Structure 1
Amino acid sequence: MSEIVFKFCATVSLCSLCQTELDRDHAFGDCPLADIKGGECPEECDCPHSYPVSMYCDGRGLTAMPVIPSHIKYLYLQNNAITAVPDLALMNATSLVWLMMHYNQLTSEAIGKKAFLKLTSLERLYLQHNNMTSIPSNLPRSLRDLRLNHNKIEKVTPSDLQGMDNLTILYLHDNAVTDMSTSLKGLKSLTLLDISSNKLTQVPEDLPEHLHQFYLESNTISSLPDDFLQRFTQLQYIRLAHNQLTDKGIPPNTFNVTGLVELDLSFNKLERIPLVSTTLQHLYLQANQIKEFTLGSFCSVVDVTSFSKLRTLRLDGNEISREDIPSESSFCLRLASNIEV
């Protein structure tokens, strides 16, 4: 009798029905592989009782998508050899909140155009370290964290990210992007944007105004647009290292904006120290062609209340020495514990 009921227990949606027939000492979750809301955990994955809405399939050598029970919210598929996401692969997984598929072998052609269409609750989608040449179609508009770095993406179009009002983090670094057009314009919640290590020759247009961290290093940008940072009220960190920036390519007062905490302009072609805000705390200018230490770049007036908040200043790898630093710099840069020349 117990064996018959036990088999029935694995197929019905309510294990509590079995509980009345089995020994009273059995716990509610003892029905093997039973999925309370329908479907069984695939044998190649792990669905621990302590995390009933999580499914761990990472590092299992998978080459294809497993069957996903409808109640699963957190799906871990990273570190496999999955090559495709067919249209129907996620049809039953409408409760997903996190989908981790980084470090697989996905190509853009093998991801169905409707594969992510029904994931209306998805917040995190990790697709980094795959072989995609474009952003998948019809990504969920509910996304908050999208990671596409370390792929082979060449272009980002406005339709790729359209309607993603909740997106706050976008990783696109280490791709082959040459053009972003106005694709970022509608991302009104975006606070972190990393598009470093691409093939960009200019700063993307219509950037979201609530950016807090903006990473652009390792591109081939030679100039910045007028009023580049004026519209950002919350920007604190910007990295432009390893580009082709020259003095002529940086409009006056570009970096003289209140609120900026860290500015990285290292490994460019600057010959002068640009004017920066007195609120800036960390400035990286190493490996440029700077020939003069201009104290006015940091302080226009020096008194008891007016001085630079700079704490880190790197000027090593330029054409100046410590003897080029004027003695009065100690008043202006009184908080800088170490100036590297």
Structure 2
Amino acid sequence: MELFLVISTLLLVSSVSSQDMPYEHVLAQLQACPKECRCPRSSPHVVYCDNRNLKTIPNIPPHTWYLYLQNNQIDVLSEKALRNTTQLRWLNLNHNKITDQGVEEGALKALSGLIHLQMEDNLLTTIPTPLPASLEQLRLSRNKISKIPPGVFSGMDHLALLDLQGNKLGDEAVTEQSLKGLSGLVQVNLAKNNLKIMPSGLPATTTQLYLDSNDIEKIPPEYFKDLPKMAFLRLNFNKLGNGGLPKNIFDLPSILDLQLSHNQLTEVPLFPLSLEHLHLDHNKIKSVNGTEICPVPIGTLDESANESGPRLRYLRLDGNEIKPPISWDLIICFRLLRAIVI
């Protein structure tokens, strides 16, 4: 999904050309281009103001769709500077010095067509508000965010990607109330925060959940009951032991990629037929019994590999206490395996 989002974004940007605008708009856009920025004649919808050591946002031309302001010294998100950019779709403010107080009231809400907002590596301690309801991607990683105000995502049913990794979020911040309104969420990244329990309140649309580098010790028995589309789950670098994983917790027909590296497991957890990639490296596993972990009785499998059987293709077990050779029953069960790392 992440790859799909990247590819679709590149296609969207590459489609921008002067042919999309009347000549008089192109001329007006180029004439209004701030002296601190670069406005390509071939792509007049795009304005590059990145890496210019800017301390304030210059007045941006009205026909701008894509605005790049990353890697500057900006500390205020000015409503005045963006007042005329009613067509803005993409705003990149990564690597600046914007604080909560620096986000002027109404500066973001007025951008009613904004789809992508990037404010990574700033000085925010909370989610900026109000946000435009049009947003599809919100990237706020590596700030100092410790709270999510209740209702901040109200009405944001278009938001598909929420990236909050590398902040200071605790369990009390990520709740059903704080995430209310994200009815279309697909990918959520809460890695490198201060979580001790699995986050609550995720919508049923969630497909990708990244929780690496937290302090999670267990997964509640019914946790995935209301997450029927879960396909990519990452819990690397946590504190999960065998007792923290209910027996059939990963029995999810939609799951494709499961990552549990750098935990405290001594056994391979059970997983369903659908799983294709399993990362269990750097745990405390001593042996792997193919008969026990096979999703179906080995005797019921056909002689040839096929899609009706287990679909595991990649298995990583290095950094454990397992010694080769691999047991033959593992090979018999997982006949689509292309790589086993020990």
CA deviation vs aligned residue, 1:28-67 (integer Å, no higher than 9, x gap): 9699x95269x82211112233222222211111110101
1:181 and 2:175 aligned: yes
Counterpart amino acid of 1:181? T
The residue matched to 1:108 in structure 2 has which SS?
coil
Which of residues 247, 264, 271 is equivalent to 2:266?
271
Counterpart amino acid of 2:32? E
Number of the residue aligned with 1:208: 203
Contact 1:158 1:181 in 2 (8 A): no
1:319 and 2:311 aligned: no
Counterpart amino acid of 1:35? A
Number of the residue aligned with 1:118: 110
Which of residues 219, 223, 232 is equivalent to 1:224?
219
List gaps (5 residues or longer) in structure 1.
1-27
1:299 and 2:295 aligned: yes
Number of the residue aligned with 1:147: 139
CA deviation vs aligned residue, 1:302-330 (integer Å, no higher than 9, x gap): 2217642211111222222225x433222
Which of residues 122, 125, 133 is equivalent to 1:133?
125
Q: Distance in 2 between matches of 1:85 and 1:279?
A: 46
Number of the residue aligned with 1:68: 60
The residue matched to 1:278 in structure 2 has which SS?
coil
1:262 and 2:246 aligned: no
Q: Distance in 2 between matches of 1:36 and 1:169?
A: 31
After TM superposition, which residue ranges in structure 1, 4 or more long, deviate above 6 angstroms? Answer: none
The offset of 1:115, in angstroms, is: 1.7
The percentage of aligned residue pairs carrying the same residue is: 38
Q: Distance in 2 between matches of 1:230 and 1:145?
A: 26
Number of the residue aligned with 2:87: 95
The residue matched to 1:253 in structure 2 has which SS?
coil
Number of the residue aligned with 2:99: 107
List gaps (5 residues or longer) in structure 2.
1-21
The residue matched to 2:278 in structure 1 has which SS?
strand
TM-score, normalization: structure 2? 0.84
Counterpart amino acid of 2:316? R
Give the number of aligned pairs: 311
The residue matched to 1:159 in structure 2 has which SS?
coil
Q: Distance in 2 between matches of 1:35 and 1:217?
A: 48
The residue matched to 2:32 in structure 1 has which SS?
coil
The residue matched to 2:223 in structure 1 has which SS?
coil
Contact 2:289 2:329 in 1 (8 A): no
Counterpart amino acid of 1:210? T
1:50 and 2:42 aligned: yes
Number of the residue aligned with 1:253: 248
Contact 2:151 2:181 in 1 (8 A): no
Contact 1:34 1:41 in 2 (8 A): no
TM-score, normalization: structure 1? 0.85
The offset of 1:142, in angstroms, is: 0.7
